[in-house]
Amino acid sequence: MLSGSYIAFKDESGILRRFEGELDHHTRMKIRLLYDGLTQSEFFRAYVKAYIDRDPHILDFVERIKKRKGKRNLKKLAKTKKLQDLAKEIESQFGLSDVEIVSIFDLPVEEKTEL
């Protein structure tokens, strides 16, 4: 990496976030973002939100990175994948989405106001 070459963006509270990266990567990223009509801030906020919300596309990408970097051994990766698949299966059996689960907690409030 080139020393002193930073990729920087401001988060929604105006705090400057930056990390060291290769100048070529930063230039190519800026071009791609311009082509896609996104700012760096929009891109990073959306990516972080998707990661936190456990977007399956992002999680697959992260798993590929971990395998490539050797961050976790293959047995642990296989076990984690198996548990994630089991969780998806159980979720589909009960048929409750995250929105529906949150709305369950709103029911007592709604019922109380109707009385």
Per-residue pLDDT tens for 74-102? 677 777 778 877 777 877 777 766 666 66
Taking residue 6's Cβ as centre, other Cβ atoms within 10 Å add up to 13
More confident residue, 71 or 41: 41
Bridge partner residues of 9 (DSSP)? 17
The whole-angstrom separation of Cα 91 and Cα 75 is: 24
Model-level pTM? 0.52
